[in-house]
Amino acid sequence: TTLRSVVGQAELDEILAERDKLNVQMQSILDEATDQWGIKVMTVEMKDVDLPVEMKRAMAKQAEAERERRAKVIHAEGEFQASQRLSEAAAIIEPHPAALHLRYLQALTEIAAENNSTILFPVPIDMLTAFKGNMTPSSE
């Protein structure tokens, strides 16, 4: 039959996505066959495509895998952009040690604003070197 021959030539994705194109193709074939009797086929519409349950499951798995792939790509692009920004920030701060100290103080302010019961204060090594001379035991 016309329906089977038209649908049989198409891929499943094409059947599902381009149903209108297949409808036009079937209408043309049917109109040509009925033209000799003076009948004009005005519309052909494929309303539903019934798929086996296994095929529906396979399509759902494929769609889920595609969504996961896109999510991973977006996440990786975000990580890449973040690392680029951190690299740029490090290049800007590196020649200005005072900027690093200001950033350290800003981080401490942000930590203090949170409601935490325990706060760790990371002390930069260069701050400890200032106390190094004072910590030697006196010979008195």
CA distance 25 to 7: 10
Domain region containing 17: 1-49
Written as six digits, the tokens of 41 are 């086929």
Domains held by the chain: number: 2
Written as six digits, the tokens of 12 are 């499943």
CA distance 91 to 103: 14
Q: Are residues 105 and 55 in the same domain?
A: yes
Please report, for the domain that includes residue 29, its CATH number. 3.30.479.30
Per-residue pLDDT tens for 29-62?
888 888 889 989 888 888 888 888 998 899 899 9
Written as six digits, the tokens of 134 are 């004072």
Q: What is the pTM of this model?
A: 0.50
pLDDT score recorded for residue 88: 93
Per-residue pLDDT tens for 69-101?
999 999 999 999 999 999 998 898 888 878 888
CA distance 11 to 90: 53
Buried b or exposed e, range 27-39, using 16+ CB within 10 angstroms: bebbeeeeeeeee
Q: Are residues 3 and 24 in the same domain?
A: yes
Written as six digits, the tokens of 32 are 């040509």
Is residue 23 within 8 A of residue 44, CB to CB? The reply is yes
Does residue 42 sit within a domain?
Answer: yes
The alpha carbon of residue 48 and the mean position of all alpha carbons in its chain are separated, in whole angstroms, by: 32
Q: Are residues 75 and 43 in the same domain?
A: no
